[in-house]
Amino acid sequence: MLRWQTATGAVIGVAVGFAILALTGRTPNGTAASGPILSECDGRMRELVVQYEPSAREAVAAAYRDFLGALDPDVTVHVVCPDRPAYEEFVSLAGSIRCRLDPILTHHPITAWSRDRWVALTPSLPSGATTLWSPRGENADEVWPARAGDERVGQDIATAIGSAARAVRSGLYFDGGDFLSDSDNVFVVPRVLQRNLQHTVDGREKFLSTLANAVKRRVILLDESPDHHAGMFMASVGGHIMLVGDPRLGRSLLPAQFQADDRGGSVEFMNLPGGPDFTAATQHLFDAVAGQCAAMGYRIVRIPVVPAQDGRTYLTYVNVLLDRAGDRRIVYLPYYRGAEALNAAARAVWEELGFEVRLVDCTATYRYFGCLHCLVNVLKRS
């Protein structure tokens, strides 16, 4: 009898919990529930977050100027800065813009890379708060004050915005750029599993279930990929279409002297450290991503990419921001001065997919191991 009562009580408790969640958007212990991770290719961009630190001016000024200048007036950009002078400098470098800027002053050091600091989880109810899901910790936070400051940015934003957002600390280690999400799936680079095994989880299945419970979409762990953030080599554009970088295409668009061998000839191209990397091993990693996505039912479209020998620096055309305005699909697309053939070929790929292209000068940015998608985090889409 006692066992029956205990089992019945457990069932009732679970039922009550689900009822509370369905009716209030809150868990039984009173904490706000979150919906699935925000798709990167669906809906209209409404609120964005960027970070600005004056020492990064050279790397980000042109990219921010082009990107902010191309945004429509109904977009709010929350600008996270260490202090008021930094924000005023940001406004000056942004130039003439139509979007609305909202300063968030942290009063502690930060870097300029917003994407990795948190992942946006949508509200469970239309009137609910967006969850800023931050990693357990930041790489090198114990020796790098700016990175230690980055660890606090999710809470800084939630405090400034108020009831529209809440900050939650994950039990997992990750960078926001390690994930690529659409309306069905979340693709995860292999190194996230490697960072967490025997530190936060005791096996692959526990890792996958923990991550799936948090992001509330199907999790696809890439078997092989370049050792970089997902947005450097792939982009989901909606309709189960995946763009994947292709070094072979990139190589075909370079001047002849840079196609001489698998290591880009004897001269560096576009200040890529060590020159371009067209080795079979590197090509295999990009092809492996394309093959796994195809096996998951995606139509694969290849687009030029030129990775460098250092494994960190890319001329990439998938590190983008995607937007919609009615029936129009918009891509904010990086370009690089001095790589005109690559720029034109990449633009043609996006236009063939039906996108309106808005160009963003990332000539300085790529040299710091990231690009446009790495600088901008999307907080809210309509």
In this prediction, residue 265 has a pLDDT band, given cuts at 50, 70 and 90, of low
In this prediction, residue 258 has a pLDDT band, given cuts at 50, 70 and 90, of confident
Average pLDDT of the residues in 212-222: 97
Q: What's the burial of 187, exposed, middle or buried (CB within 10 Å: 0-12/13-18/19+)?
A: buried
Percent of the chain at pLDDT above 90? 84
Average pLDDT of the residues in 45-64: 97
The Cα 56–Cα 59 span in angstroms is 5
Global pTM reads 0.90
> Which of 101, 85, 94, 100 lies closest to 53, judged by CA?
85
* DSSP SS3 for 133: strand
* 71-85 pLDDT, tens digit each: 999 999 999 999 999
Strand partners, 218: 185
pLDDT value at 30 more than 50: no
In this prediction, residue 264 has a pLDDT band, given cuts at 50, 70 and 90, of low
pLDDT, position 337: 97
Domains of the chain: 32-381 (3.75.10.10)
Q: Measured on CA atoms in the order 21, 26, 30, 36, is the torsion positive or negative?
A: positive
The DSSP line for 14-50 is HHHHHHHHHHHSB-TTSPBPEEEEPPSSSS-EEEEEE
Query: How far, in Å, are 78, 116, 359 from residue 159 at the CA level?
Result: 13, 19, 33
The Cα 116–Cα 102 span in angstroms is 20
* 330-342 pLDDT, tens digit each: 999 999 999 999 9
In this prediction, residue 267 has a pLDDT band, given cuts at 50, 70 and 90, of low
Least confident of 109-113, 261-265, 285-289: 261-265
Average pLDDT of the residues in 139-156: 90
Strands (DSSP E) contained in 82-212 are 100-105, 119-123, 130-134, 165-169, 179-181, 185-188
Average pLDDT of the residues in 155-176: 96
Average pLDDT of the residues in 274-284: 95
> Which of 131, 65, 70, 59 lies closest to 98, judged by CA?
70
In this prediction, residue 38 has a pLDDT band, given cuts at 50, 70 and 90, of very high
In this prediction, residue 32 has a pLDDT band, given cuts at 50, 70 and 90, of low
> Which of 20, 86, 79, 12 lies closest to 54, judged by CA?
86
pLDDT value at 6 more than 60: no
pLDDT, position 185: 98
pLDDT, position 2: 36
In this prediction, residue 355 has a pLDDT band, given cuts at 50, 70 and 90, of very high
Instruction: Give the helix/strand (H/E) hosting 310.
Output: none
Mean pLDDT, rounded, of the chain: 91
pLDDT value at 50 more than 70: yes
In this prediction, residue 266 has a pLDDT band, given cuts at 50, 70 and 90, of low
**Helical H runs in 204-334?**
204-215, 247-252, 280-295
pLDDT, position 316: 98
pLDDT, position 14: 36
The Cα 157–Cα 167 span in angstroms is 8
Average pLDDT of the residues in 101-119: 97
Least confident of 2-6, 168-172, 322-326: 2-6
The tokens for 376 are: 């901008």
The tokens for 212 are: 């799936």
